[in-house]
Amino acid sequence: MTSLAELGCSTLGVWTREQALQVMSRRVVARLLQEGTWQTVFRGVHADGGYVLSPEQRAVAAVLASGGAGQPYPCGPQRQDGTHAVRIRAVAGGRTAARVYGLPLVDDGDPPRAVGTTSSTTSTSGRA
């Protein structure tokens, strides 16, 4: 990373403290946090202040906070095609991953179901 403008560009607008320190001093980072220009999402992970993060941004922030910054990274010997195997340190899973990939969840946008209602029919003989 070479400039402040690049901070968070590839991570949905969230970044690590280490990434910020590549382009500014600790004092500037502390001031931006204190003023509310930035917010702390998780320890060592920040975003612009003043708004609620989307589920996707929170997922990326969680991955970054879990050691996922800079992933995937190459590992092992180089393959014949010139590529390397990659290792990933942290990923989003379950419902969070479903949200990131835009998969519909059962409770997202479904009309609310009435709780405790049953349907029964009564016959003409008076027996149910």
Encode pLDDT of 58-114 as tens digits: 988 988 888 877 666 667 788 888 877 766 677 778 887 887 777 888 876 655 555
Domain membership flag for residue 32: yes
Structure tokens at 17: 């403290």
Residue 12 contacts residue 60 (beta carbons within 8 Å): yes
Cα–Cα distance between 103 and 97 in angstroms, integer?
9
Q: Into how many domains does the chain fold? A: 1
Domain membership flag for residue 127: no
pTM attached to this predicted model: 0.64
* Residues 6-27 pLDDT 10s: 888 888 899 999 999 999 999 9
Cα–Cα distance between 128 and 27 in angstroms, integer?
76
Domain membership flag for residue 109: no
Domain membership flag for residue 125: no
Residue 79: per-residue pLDDT: 82
Domain membership flag for residue 37: yes
Domain membership flag for residue 117: no
Residue 119 in this model has a pLDDT that exceeds 50: no
Alpha helices in the chain (DSSP H): 17-21, 26-35, 55-63, 94-100
Domain membership flag for residue 80: yes
Domain membership flag for residue 47: yes
Q: Which structural domain, as residue segments, surrounds residue 18?
A: 4-100
Residue 32: per-residue pLDDT: 96
Average pLDDT for 110-122: 49
Residue 29 contacts residue 17 (beta carbons within 8 Å): yes
Q: What is the CA radius of gyration of the chain?
A: 24
Residue 120: per-residue pLDDT: 45
Q: How far apart are the first and last CA of the chain?
A: 72
